[in-house]
Each structure stands twice: as structure tokens, then as C-alpha cells.
Amino acid sequence: MTIEEAKAKLKEGNQAYVKSGRNPGTFERAERERLAREGQHPYACVISCSDSRVVPEHIFSAGLGQLFTIRNAGNVIGVHEIGSCEYAAEHLHVPLIVVLGHTHCGAVEEAFKQAADTHEKQKEDALESPIEEVVREILEVTGEYTDTSAMEIENARAGVEKLRKDPTLARLAADGELAILAAIYDTESGFVRFDI
Ligand SMILES: [Zn+2]
């Protein structure tokens, strides 16, 4: 599948999801067995938040074997996420990677709260715990933004920039075999906005 075909398929899948509220993707036994036998050939890689309202397979009307997904709180991009994307792009040949932020993201809201917190000591204490590592990652790229919607968009865009700096992904992109995009999922309407 080409980059444009993969993008169109995600868009069409999202429109179908919004319209019907159902996932027409295949999860049946025969398909499970076929994929186990023949291996996976997903058409896109989606990096999303772990938020229980953000489920890539449903959002894009995808079944088994169609999306290579990576999820963590705040859809932050670190070494493990980059390594997983390299695997998806280089070994599984996905033509498209989408960093999917979303509205009402708790991790971004926490980062927003901390950015506004002027109590330095409290801020330093908070940054010592693992969950604060997530917030720190988001703050690092969204620090100058003053509302959560802008921060959600900027966090997804920054994720794309990090991925584009990876030599393997950059090479595939330069060869025209891979595109890396940011998008935002509207938790209420179900729509995914591309090209943010
Ligand atoms: Zn989230």
C-alpha cells in the first residue's frame, strides 16, 4: 500500500466509525489463523495515548493485523517508541506512522497544571516520580503554550519531529517509502483531524 492509500484508508475508516459507532473490522477465528500462518502486514503504525477512550482499531475501523499500535500515557516518544516504529517501518514496511494525540488528555492536562504551578519546590519533588517523567516529556515540548488544546497538538507534532530525526525512519522517508504525520482525535465527536 502507498502512503496516500494508507492515509485514505485511515480517513475512510474513521468516517465509518463516526457514522456507525461500530467496528466492521475482522476479528474472526479464520482471520486470526490466517494471520498466524502468513504473518502480519499492517498498513499503518499508530502511536496513541493509553486513554481508555482512544482505541485505534475502533477509531479507524480496523481488524486484526491491520494496525501496528504503540500506546502510552500522553503518547510521548522515547527510545522504545522509536525502536517500535523502526520495526514497523523497516521490517513490516508500513508506509505511514501517525502520532495520534487526543482532546481531554489527562497527561497533557497534568503538564498544563504543572506549567502553571509557581511553587518551585513542589514542582521539583513531583518531577522525581516515574509518572512525572511522562509529564516532563510533555512539558519539554509544550512549555510555552497556554492552553491544553494547543499543548495536545504541539505534543503530537513534537512526537513526529522526534521520529523524523531517527536515522532509519529519516532514510525511509527520504526514499519516499514512509510518511510520519500528527493527528488529533476528538474524544467527543470521534473525528480524527489530520494535517495538524
Ligand atoms: Zn491522553
Average of per-residue pLDDT values in the chain: 93
- d(CA 140, CA 189) in angstroms, rounded, equals 29
Task: Kindly state the cell numbers that stand for 112.
Answer: 498544563
* 58 contacts: CB under 8 Å, gap ≥ 6: 17, 23
pLDDT tens-place string over residues 28-68: 999 999 999 999 999 999 999 999 999 999 999 999 999 99
DSSP state of 90: I
Task: Kindly state the cell numbers that stand for 20.
Answer: 456507525
Ligand 1: centre distance to CA 17 (Å): 20
- pLDDT, position 127: 58
pLDDT tens-place string over residues 5-31: 999 999 999 999 999 989 999 999 999
Ligand 1: centre distance to CA 133 (Å): 15
CB 77 within 8 A of CB 47: yes
Rg (Cα) of the chain, in Å, rounded? Answer: 17
Ligand 1: centre distance to CA 62 (Å): 21
Instruction: Specify the pTM.
Output: 0.93
Sign of the CA dihedral running 53, 12, 31, 3: negative
Q: Is 36 exposed, middle or buried (0-12, 13-18, 19+ CB in 10 A)?
A: exposed
pLDDT tens-place string over residues 121-157: 555 665 568 888 898 889 888 877 779 999 999 999 9
Ligand 1: centre distance to CA 30 (Å): 34
Q: Which domains, and CATH codes, for the chain? A: 3-194 (3.40.1050.10)
Ligand 1: centre distance to CA 70 (Å): 13
Whether pLDDT at 87 is above 90: yes
